[in-house]
Amino acid sequence: MTAIDDTPATSTATSDAAAPPRRRFREPERFALIGVWIVLIVFFVLRVPDTFPTTANLSNMLGSQAVLLILALGLIIPLRAGDYDLSVASVLTLSAVIVAALNVTHGWSIWIASVVAILAGVLVGVVNGFIVARFGIDPFIVTLGIGTIVVGLSSIVADSRTVSGVDPVLSDVMLSKPFLNIPVDFYYAVVLCAIVWYVFEKTALGQRLLFVGQNRDVARLNGVAVQKLRWIGLICSATIAACAGVVYVGTTRSADPGSGAGFLLPAFAAAFLGSTTLRIGRFNPWGTLIAVYFLVTGITGLQLMGAEQYVQQLFYGSALVIAVVLSQAVRVRSLHKRVATAIPVSATPTTDLAEGENPTERSDS
């Protein structure tokens, strides 16, 4: 073997501190969203100093988004495997109305009702995954169809009306015992975030999901059970969406067949916006968390400044579109830079180097 010295980047391989990519400080783009977030916060602190930087507002912002965050964290699991799950918001609805209806209408214990609701979510995930894995159909269509069926079922369960008066025990668990003035459901979401991060970065399951999402053929030829993992991904997203539904009932003490409708787009916006930060081009839980709170900061601030309710749609919609555009642009740019800096030019007499700076140009091959 010829004498090729390790570059500094690779010679420190003994520490296990970082997950695969060691470019923590080399790509400022990774922190762009956090930067914009800080600018936004400073802006609102200056513009609405009486209402924005208050404990009540902070607590409200953090707590109110827990349901969305949980939903988005479930969503990024199939997204990592390259599959869209458009049924998550419907599953949230179904789960919420099951809890409410069983508890209020049928007088079941709130805990049994919650377990049944989560099992219903698992079932939806199993059905989604079965159709996708068995018949090889694009989950985009499958989950769109199943999601619509699930909304219909929710109407049947709730008898097409709002079911309120859910056992307050549930909301006690979700809201009433705030820690550091922040509702506890926020902490549930953060714990889930940590779990998802751990699975994504540290386990074989997470890495295999990544390969399934990046290139199914490569995964298959390397012995990865592609269809099974896609199935698992869809079960996870539906199960977590059902959990989000339980949390939702806890925070509102009521549910109706329209409860989840408004969650689908924000969840996708957060997932895609999250993929532009921390780990560029990859759906990642901490990025998703930052994205969720970035979005709510903007919306809350604008509303405190006197904006109408519709600002929410404008904000979420533009965030999704901008996120997708950004993730593409930033990815290409960072690839450029990485090639330019990382390739030691004519390091060896061998000429077999990728040439040029354009990452899309695959050299002479």
Partner 1 sequence: MSSEQSVEPGGGALGAPTAGTALLEVIGLSKAFSGAPALRSVDLTIRAGEIHGLLGANGSGKSTLIKILAGFHQPDDGRIIVNGDERPMPLGPRGLRDHGVAFVHQDLGLIPASTVLEHMALDSHGAAPGLRRISWRDERLRVEELLARFQVSIDPDALIEILSPVQRAMVAVVRAVGDQERAIGNARSLLVLDEPTVFLPRDEIDLLFALLRRLKSQGNSVVLVSHDLDEVLAVTDRVTVLRDGSLAGTRDVAGQTRQDIVELILGAPDEHVPHGKPTVRTDLPPLMAAEGLTGDRIQNLSIELRGGEVVGVTGLAGSGFEELPELLFGARTRRAGTILVDGREVTRPTPREMLDRRITLVPSDRKAEGAAQDLTVNENLALPFFGDHSGGWLIRWSALREQAQRICRRFNVVPPSVELTFSNLSGGNQQKALLGKWFQTDPLVMLLNEPTQGVDVGARREIFKLIREAVTDGMSALCATSDYEQLVELADRVLILQDGQVRHELHGAEITKDSLAALIYSEAAA
User: Which residues would be at the binding site for partner 1 (CB under 8 A)?
Assistant: 1-2, 4, 6-7, 9-10, 13-16, 18-23, 201-208, 210-211, 214-215, 217-225, 281, 335, 338-365
Least distance from C-beta 18 to partner 1, angstroms? 8
- Compare residues 123 and 354 and give the one whose CB is closer to partner 1: 354
How does 241-260 read in b/e, with b if 16+ C-beta sit within 10 Å?
bbbbbbbbbbbbbbbbbebb
**DSSP string spanning 44-99?**
HHHHSTTTTTSHHHHHHHHHHTHHHHHHHHHHHHHHHTT---TTHHHHHHHHHHHH
Decide: helix, strand or coil at residue 182.
strand
C-alpha 247/C-alpha 243 separation (Å) is: 6
- Compare residues 219 and 289 and give the one whose CB is closer to partner 1: 219
Least distance from C-beta 335 to partner 1, angstroms? 6
Torsion of CA 275, 279, 285, 289, to 10 degrees: -70
- Give the tokens for residue 302: 């604008």
First to last CA, the chain: 24
Contact at 8 Å (CB) between 226 and 212? Answer: yes
Q: What is the 3-state secondary structure (H, E, C) of 95-118?
A: HHHHHHHHHHHCCCCHHHHHHHHH
- Compare residues 149 and 225 and give the one whose CB is closer to partner 1: 225
Contact at 8 Å (CB) between 263 and 94? Answer: no
Least distance from C-beta 358 to partner 1, angstroms? 7
- Compare residues 115 and 332 and give the one whose CB is closer to partner 1: 332
**DSSP string spanning 296-365?**
HHHHHHHHHTT--TTHHHHHHHHHHHHHHHHHHHHHHHHHHHHHHHHS-TT-SS------SS-TT--TT-
- Compare residues 15 and 309 and give the one whose CB is closer to partner 1: 15
What residue type is 363 in one-letter code? S
Least distance from C-beta 272 to partner 1, angstroms? 16
- Compare residues 155 and 207 and give the one whose CB is closer to partner 1: 207
Q: How far is CA 296 from CA 257, 274, 283, 315, in A?
A: 24, 14, 19, 9
- Compare residues 10 and 309 and give the one whose CB is closer to partner 1: 10
Least distance from C-beta 205 to partner 1, angstroms? 6
Half-sphere exposure of 301 (CA within 13 A, CB side): 21
- Compare residues 68 and 224 and give the one whose CB is closer to partner 1: 224
Least distance from C-beta 285 to partner 1, angstroms? 17
- Return the number of other C-beta atoms located less than 10 Å from residue 152's C-beta: 13
Least distance from C-beta 216 to partner 1, angstroms? 10
Least distance from C-beta 271 to partner 1, angstroms? 18
- Compare residues 53 and 344 and give the one whose CB is closer to partner 1: 344
Least distance from C-beta 280 to partner 1, angstroms? 11
